[in-house]
Structure 1
Amino acid sequence: MLSAFASANLSFREPTGPVVRVSPYELDISEIEAVKEIHRVGGHYRKSDFYSNIGHRSIRTLFSTTDPQHHAVRRRLLSAGMAHTNLARVEPAVQDRVQLTIKQMDSEMSRRGAVDVFKWWTFMATDVIGELSFGQSFQTLENGEKTQYVKDLENVSSFMAIRVTFPTLIAYSALLPIPLFKQVQEAGRRMAQYAQQAIRNYQSVIEKNPENPKQTLFTKMFNGGPEGLKLQDIIPEAGGYIVAGSDTTAITLTYLVWAVCRKPSIRDKVVAEVSALPPDFTQDSVRDLPYLNQVIQEALRIHSAVPSALPRAVPPEGANLAGYRIPGGVTVSTQAYTLHRNPDVFPDPHAFDPSRWENPTKEMKHVFMPFGGGSRICIGMHLAWMELLLATALFFRTFPKARVSEKEGMCDEDMEAKIFFLVSPKGRRCLIETR
C-alpha cells in the first residue's frame, strides 16, 4: 500500500536526512535547494519513463510526454483554454454546477440528517470537467449516481498504480486470463468511444455556430489554424483532463470541509468572511478573501490530492544534489507528502492551521507544490482554484453550523488517507451534519 510507503518515507528522513534511496536507481529528495533545481523552469530534468507507462506509449499527451519540446508546443496551444480570460467565459458553467451541488447536498441533509460531501464533490468536479472538456456534463449531479463513464474512470484510475509499477506485465495483459485486466481494458475502450463521440458532437456544435459556440477549454483548438489541434490529438487531451480534474478537486474539497468542520473556531471565521459576500457572488468576489485563501492553501498543504512522487531523470552529465554526486539517468523524485510536512518549514506540520499562510516565508512558497512545479506545473491550476473558491464559499454560506457527523458509524478512521497516485479517504465517504 503506497500510503504505508509514504509514511515510511517520511519516518526514514528523521535519521537519514533529506535523501532516501528507494530503489537501486531512484532517490527521493526533499532538500529545498535540490527540489528547486529539479523543477527549475529551463532546467534539464526530464520527466522519467514513469509517465510514459501511465497511458498508451503511442499517444503522447501534455501530461504523459517526456519530450520537453513536444510538451512546450502542446502546452502553448492548450494554455489558451486555461487563461484567465477564457476561464471567465466558462465560469457560468462552473457556477451552475456548484449551485446544483449545494442544492443536492441540502436535500440529502434534510432526508438523511447528514450529507456525504465526498460523493457530491466528486459528482460536481466530474460534471464540471466533463462539460468544460467534452462540451456536455455527465449529469451525475442531476441523477445522483455515477454514469458508466465515471465507473469506468474509477476502474482505470485505480489500475494506474499497477500500470506504472509493472509495465512489462501490462504489455502482456491481453494474453493473461486475469479478470481485472479484461475489465480495465473494456473500461478503457468504452471511455475512448465516449470521448470520440462527445468531441465529434461538440465539433458539430462549433460548425453550426462558429461565431458564438458554447465555450469549453478546447474551443479555440478546433479552428484548424496555427492555434489548433487535430481531432485525434484533442480526444486524448480531453480524456486526460477528465482524469486530472475530477478526483483531485473532489478530494481537496472533501478534506477541506472535514478539517474546517472539526475546528469550530476556523469554521466560524470562514463563515464570517463568506457571509459578507453578495448573494450572486462570482470568482472576482472571492478571489481576494484572505482567510478563505489561507484555508484552501492549508488544505492543499496537508491534504494534497497528489502527494506522491513526481519522478524526473537526472541529465546525462550527472548532477550535484543535496550534497551528493548523482549519475546521469538516475531517477530523482520529489513528493508533496514529505515537503509539506517539513517541520523546519512548517512548524507543527501535522496541525491544520490556516493562519500560517497569513505571512508565508520564502521556504514555504518554495516547497508548496500541490500542483507540481516548474514548467510541468498543472495547467489546470487556475480552474481548480476557481472551483475551490466558489464551492467552499457557497458551502459555508449555506451550512454555517456544519460539523463532522457521527451518524452511520462515521469516524476519523473513515478519513484516513489511502495513497496510490492520488489520495482517497479510507471509508470512501465524509458525512457532515448541521444539527
Structure 2
Amino acid sequence: MSGPLWSRLSDIPRLLWARSDHIHEKHIALHRKYGVVVRLGPNCVSIGTPSAIPAIYGTGTNLQKSDFYRVLQPLAHGRVVQGLFNTQDEALHRALKRPIAGIYSMTNLVSFEPYVDTTIRIFLQRMEEQQAKQPTVNLGAWLQFFAFDVMGEITFSRRFGFLDTASDVDGIIDSIYRFFSYGSVIGQMPVLDRLWAKNPLINRFLPSKNSSVVAFAVARANERQAASEKGTVTDDYEYNSRDFMSRFLETRQKDPSLPPGFLTAWTTSNVQAGSDTTAILLRAIVHFLLTHPASLAKLRHELATARAEGRLSDVVTWKESRDLSYLDACIKEAGRLHSPVGLAMERVVAAPQGMEVCGTHLPKGTVVGLNPWVVHRDKRIFGEDADEWNPDRWLRPKDEQRAAMERSLLTFGAGHRTCLGKNISYLEIYKLIPTLFARYDITFETPDEWKLVNHWLVFQEGFNVTVRIHDEKKDVEK
C-alpha cells in the first residue's frame, strides 16, 4: 500500500499532522495523492471510500476500537472512566447501552421538546440583551452555551448556567476542548498516554488525576439526586420526573446488578459528547449559511413562506421542521462538509487471517479507519462538486444516488457504535436553526477576516456577528 515514506517507519508524522490543527486536510491530500488505501503509520491504514463502511463499521464485523479511544478515557481519582463512546470493551459497551438505548430514540426524545423550547427562548432573550449592550456578539460561544444548557435541562432538569451567566461555567468548555485537543494528538501515538497520563507507577507518586468533565457531571448528578430525595420541588430546584437522570435512576432500580459507575458513565457521556458535537454542527451550519448568501436567502424564503401559511411557530417544532426540505438539505450538507470528527475513526483487525478491504490485505492487528472528511468528498458519490457547498444535492429525487449519499454519511459514525446521542443533536439543530434565521438578520462583523481554526474541529475565533430582528415580509415578496 502507498503512503509517505516516513509513515512506514514511525507514527510521529501523523502525530505532527494532528498537532498542526489541520490533520483533516492532510488526510484529504494524502488520499488524493496515493489513492483509496493510504498508510498513515507502520501499522495504521486509512480507507478513503464509502464502499468500505460496512466492512469496517458494519454490525457483524466485530472490529474493536483502537487504543486511540483509550486515550479519550478520562481519569477520576486516578482511575479510568469508560463510557459509551470511548470504551474498547464490546461487552461493556453492550452492558452500558442496552438498559438505556430506548431513552435516546427520537420518539421518546420528542417528549423533551418543551424543555428544549424553554432553553431556546432563554437563548433568544439573552442574545437580544447582549446585542442591546454591544455592537456584536460572539455567536460561536452562544451556540455552545445553548448546547450545554439544553443538555442540562433534559438530563438534570436544570440549565447549567452558561446562557444565564454568558460564561464558561466551571471552565468546562475549555476543559473539554483541551481534553479533545490532547486526545487528537496523543491518540496518534497512544503509547505516550500509557507512559505518562495513565502510567500506574507515575500516578502512585503524583496527586490523583481528576477529569474536570467527570467532576462536573458527577456534581450535577449529585445536585439532581439531592433534589429528588427532597421531593419534586425544592426551594430552588423543580425537576422533570421524566428527565434523563430520572430514567437513569429508574434503570438502576429495576436492575440493582448494574454497577454504580454506570450512572457516572451515562451522565458524563451526555455532558461531554452530547454538548460539544451539537455545538460544532450548529456553528458549521451558521458559518456555511452566512458565507453563502444565496443559500441563506433560499432558506429564509422557505421559512417565511411556511410562517405565512401558518406552518411555522415562533419556536419551530420538530414536526414543523421535518416539512422544511431546504433546511434539511442545509443541515445534511453542513454535516457532510464539516463533520465534528476530523480523524480516522479507528478500528483493529481481529481475525487471525486478517481481512481484505478494497483489494488490500490487512493483517491481524492492523489499525484501520475512515475519516469522514475524506469519505464525504468522494466525487463518485457526491458529484464533481463534492468539495463545494451545495445543499441542492440533497433535493434530488430519492433514487439510488440519493440513497448512496445517505449511506455514505459518517457525521455521527456508523454501525452499532453510532453516536447514541445523535437524535438529541438533531432535535436541537432542527429546532434552533430555523427559529434563529426566521427571527434574525445575522451578518459577520468582518466577513473578509473570517477564519476557521481547527483542532478536533472546534471553532476558536472569527464568529463575531451582528444580530437584528428580521423582516419576514421581504422574504415572502422575494
Q: Which residue of 2 aligns with 1:351?
A: 388
Could you give the per-residue CA deviations for residues 82-140 of structure 1, whole angstroms, max 9, x where no partner exists? Answer: 12343123222211112221222223333333332101001001111233334432111
In 1, Cα distance between equivalents of 2:185 and 2:146:
28
Question: For 2:50 and 2:141, how far apart are their aligned partners in 1?
Answer: 36
Distance verdict in 2 for CA 1:320–1:411, change over 3 Å? same
Q: Which stretch shows the higher mean deviation, 146-155 or 32-41?
A: 146-155
Match of 2:428 in 1: 387
* Separation (CA, whole Å) in 1 of partners of 2:186 and 2:156: 26
Find out whether 1:242 has 2:271 as its counterpart: yes
Aligned CA distance change for structure 1 residues 338 and 358 (closer, same or farther; 3 Å): same
- Structure-1 separation of matches of 2:439 and 2:182: 37
SS of 2:368's equivalent in the other structure is strand
Aligned to 2:332: 297
Question: 2:136 touches 2:464 (CA, 8 Å); kept in 1?
Answer: no
Paired residues of 1:302 and 1:340 also in contact (CA < 8 A): yes
1:252 is the counterpart of 2:274: no
Q: Residue type of the partner of 2:465?
A: L
Contact 2:442–2:465, Cα closer than 8 Å, also in 1 = no
CA separation in 1, counterparts of 2:286 and 2:462? 15
Structure 1 residues 174, 74: closer, same or farther in 2, change over 3 A? closer
Deviations 1:309-365 (A, max 9, x none): 100111223111001111111011111110111122222122211111012523212
Structure 1 position 280, deviation (Å): 4.9
**How many correspondences in the alignment?**
422
Q: What does residue range 20-99 of structure 1 map to in structure 2 within 5 Å? A: 20-55=38-73, 56=75, 58-99=80-121
Give the one of 232, 248, 268 matched to 1:221.
248
- Secondary structure of the structure 2 residue equivalent to 1:370: coil
Q: Tell me which amino acid in the other structure corresponds to 1:145.
A: S
1:423 match: secondary structure: coil
Structure 2: distance between partners of 1:282 and 1:227: 38
Other-structure match for 2:261: 232
Once residues 144 and 192 of structure 2 are traced to their aligned partners in structure 1, the CA distance between those partners, rounded to angstroms, is 31
Q: Is the 8 A contact 1:102 1:394 kept in 2?
A: no
What's the counterpart of residue 11 of structure 2? Answer: none
Q: Is the 8 A contact 1:114 1:405 kept in 2?
A: yes
Letter matched to residue 375 of structure 1: H
> Which of 350, 359, 368 is the equivalent residue of 1:315?
350
Cα distance, 1:417 vs. partner? 4.1
Structure 2 distance, partners of 1:9, 1:413, is: 24
| 2-structure distance, mates of 1:230, 1:246 | 25
- Report the structure number with the largest CA radius of gyration: 2
Give the equivalent residue in structure 1 for 2:323: 288
Q: Is the contact made by 2:145 and 2:162 (CA closer than 8 Å) also made in structure 1?
A: yes
Distance 1:265 1:8 in 2: 30
What's the Cα RMSD here? 2.9
Question: Gaps (5+ residues) in structure 2?
Answer: 1-16, 200-205, 233-238, 470-478
Q: Relative to structure 1, is the Cα distance of residues 194 and 285 closer, same or farther in structure 2, using a 3 angstrom cutoff? A: same
What do the CA deviations read for 1:51-102 (whole angstroms, capped 9, x no partner)?
1221147433211222223222321222122123431232222111122212
Question: 2: CA distance between counterparts of 1:258 and 1:16?
Answer: 31
Determine whether 1:152 maps to 2:180: no
Residue 365 (str. 1) matches residue 406 (str. 2): yes
Q: Any conservation in 2 of the 1:254–1:430 contact (CA below 8 Å)?
A: no
- Alpha-carbon separation, structure 2, partners of 1:14 and 1:146: 40
Tell me the distance in 1 between the aligned counterparts of 2:256 and 2:315. 35
TM, length-normalised to structure 2: 0.80
Equivalents in 1 of 2:58, 2:416: separation in Å? 7
Task: Say which SS state the counterpart of residue 312 (structure 1) adopts.
Answer: strand
**1:303/1:193 Cα in 2 relative to 1: closer, same or farther (>3 Å)?**
closer
AA aligned to 1:53 is V
Find the partner of 1:431 among 465, 469, 478: 465
Q: What's the counterpart of residue 474 of structure 2?
A: none
Q: Which AA in structure 2 matches 1:404? A: F
| Mapped contact 1:52–1:64 kept (Cα < 8 A) | yes
Contact 1:307–1:370, Cα closer than 8 Å, also in 2: no
In structure 2, do the counterparts of structure 1 residues 314 and 190 end up closer, same or farther at CA, with 3 Å as the change threshold? Answer: closer
| Range moving further from structure 2, 381-390 or 156-165 | 156-165
Identity level (%): 23
Name which of structure 1's ranges 119-128 and 9-18 shifts more when overlaid on structure 2: 9-18
Deviates more, 1:46-55 or 1:115-124: 46-55
Q: How far 1:168 moved relative to its partner? A: 4.1
For residue 337 of structure 1, what is the aligned residue in structure 2? Answer: 373
Q: How far apart are 1:189 and its partner, in Å?
A: 4.7
**Alignment of 1:131 onto 2:168:** no
CA distance in 2, matches of 1:355, 1:227: 51
8 A Cα contact 2:23 2:343, kept in partner: no
Deviations 1:377-423 (A, max 9, x none): 11011110011111101111111x323331xxx64542x2413xx31
Q: Which amino acid aligns with 1:314?
A: V
**Per the alignment, do residues 418 and 11 of structure 1 end up closer, same or farther by CA in structure 2, a change over 3 Å counting?**
same
Q: Does residue 9 of structure 1 match 2:27?
A: yes
Contact 2:120 2:315 (C-alpha < 8 Å) held by counterparts: no
Match for residue 178 of structure 1? none
